[in-house]
Amino acid sequence: IEHPDRSYADQSGGPFTQVSIARPSTAVTMKLPPLPKQRRRRRIIAAGAIAAVLLIWALLAISSVFDGRAAALDGLDRLEGIRDRFEIEQLESGELVAELSTASNDFSSAQSELRALWVAPLRIVPWVGTQIRSADALSNSASIVADELAGAAERVLEVKEESQAETITKAGAAQELLTLVRSARARFSDLDLGPDGGLIGALEDARGRFDEERTDLDATLADAETALAGMTEFLSGPTTYLLLSANTSEMRAGSGRFLIAGPVSINDGEITVGDLVPPEDILLEPDAVEITDEDFAANWSSLQPTVDLRNLGTTPRFDVTAPLAADMWETATGQAVDGVLVIDPVALQGILGTGASVDVDGLKIDAENVFSFVVFDQYWEEDKPTRRLRQRELASAALSAAVSADTDLVELVEALEVAVASSHILAWSRSATQQATWELIGAAGQIGADSLMASLVNDGFNKLDTFVEISARVSSSREAGDVAVALSLDLENTAGPQLPGYVLGPYDWLGVELGTYIGTLIINLPGAANDIDIDGPGEIVVEGTDGPTRLLALSVAIDANRVATYDIGFTLPSGFQTITIEPSARVPGVQ
């Protein structure tokens, strides 16, 4: 220390740490010795080590974030790919469970990366933390979905095996599946998708995709819940339906003609088929049952449809005719029913398609021959009571086979999907829960304001519908704002003399040659259709409304090996975007 008056020595023996001045008002200058080279080197090394650690941390954190993001996106892609392949075959093979497990592993890997220790500090960094928290929440929610679906898939197979082993009834199996669906919906309802703002493009897209998938999944599960709730109630019972066995060789609108009727009771998965009778055995007096639907009454009351069950099918609206059939049955027999069920040869084929077979009057009937037997082969038997007996036995045996322990419930549902979609199975119930199920799966026989449907009703007391082929062409164009629609129908009668006489129609009093098809062409057009024009043989017998649709009905007479062509034109308002072409239950179908 240099001072004008005195000097002070370093009393610490080393670098200066404290200096005491007797007269603090006097300026003092301190000269510190230079830092040794070894200390400077240590500080440089320490700073470098800190920088290296920070660099390694940054690399690890960035790598984990990107690896987590990649794993999450891989899992999301896998989930989206699984969605369209969720079928029983993939479940049974274990393929879907394995893929769901892989997706779950992807999301678990993403979570591990995003929750790594070296990533934690980034969570408090503005914007960066938002990305990490969002990716973490999405991965966690997606992992929950994948795990839940994998567990549900395994449980479905367990329920299937338990049903086959008879440890639970069909009703119990349906209840188990219903509980499974409700549990999944509850689990998915409160999923946390994390922050939804300030996200980078890829993460924002992933969040949007997942949210859309969650919405679609919930809608699918909601439909499954509706279907299973009604099916559980139906199978648990006690429930009694009026069974109507329809034959597609003699068509009505939207279904075949009802040839057999009788009660079917279901209780705890067990089905009991009562006495089945031909409709002509339970004819009613006119006006014994009131027609409450104004359109049906206006269009077809002249045919007295509530006298004979076989005359109900002049409208495809099964939700109108089924309640009438139930009331007619109760009036005729005194037995009230909870609903109405219609099956036809295609439905029987679906039921027996699970591998079951039935014995009918000494004949083995299975999926291979049931259709030809019902629509053709049985008519080689000229004795009508014998034919009726076989029809009753077949309907009863097939329904019993449908709920037997040997029949796989899941496979049965799959086998009947096509039959339901093509109106070969129709169902109506007084129970709102069961009716919601029939409507959901498309078995309720309803048409809408945008429906277009062509039905050919057999009035010739023959069985020729299998041999009348219908091809249709429809086109549309916009003209001055409106939509012009053109519908063309070709009806070809391919009947030949090799057919049984009962099929050709031996009814001389009709005044037509054997094999001539006599009927009514019923066309339901969208409700907003106007400027309707029709060109073709026959006369218009009914024109008006049929529920939400416009109705045209024309008389038809087609000689064997002849074609009748009908061209129908109409316009729709400019706002119309779609037309729904409805199935007619014909076999062969309208092409």
Average pLDDT over residues 301-308: 94
Least confident of 72-81, 387-396, 542-551: 72-81
Q: Is 33:15 a contact under the CB 8 Å cutoff?
A: yes
Helix, strand, coil percentages in the chain from 3-state DSSP, rounded to 5: 45, 20, 30
Q: Whose structure tokens read 């039935």?
A: 358
Q: Residues 327-350: pLDDT tens digits?
A: 999 999 999 999 999 999 888 888
**What letter would DSSP give residue 532?**
E
Residue 455 CA, chain-centre distance (Å), reads 26
Q: Which residue do the tokens 């503005």 mark?
A: 126
Average pLDDT over residues 19-24: 56
Claim: this prediction has a pTM higher than 0.85: no
Q: Express each pLDDT in 249-282 by its tens digit.
A: 999 999 999 988 999 998 987 888 888 898 989 9
Tokens of 16: 């200066």
Q: Which of 71-80, 467-476, 478-487 has the lowest average pLDDT?
A: 71-80
Distance (Å) of CA 153 to CA 100, 282, 384? 9, 48, 50
Task: Report the SS3 class of residue 191.
Answer: coil
| pLDDT-based confidence at residue 501 (cuts at 50, 70, 90) | confident
**pLDDT tens digits for 177-216?**
899 889 888 888 877 766 776 655 566 677 777 777 778 8
> Whole-number mean pLDDT of the chain?
81
pLDDT at 57: 40
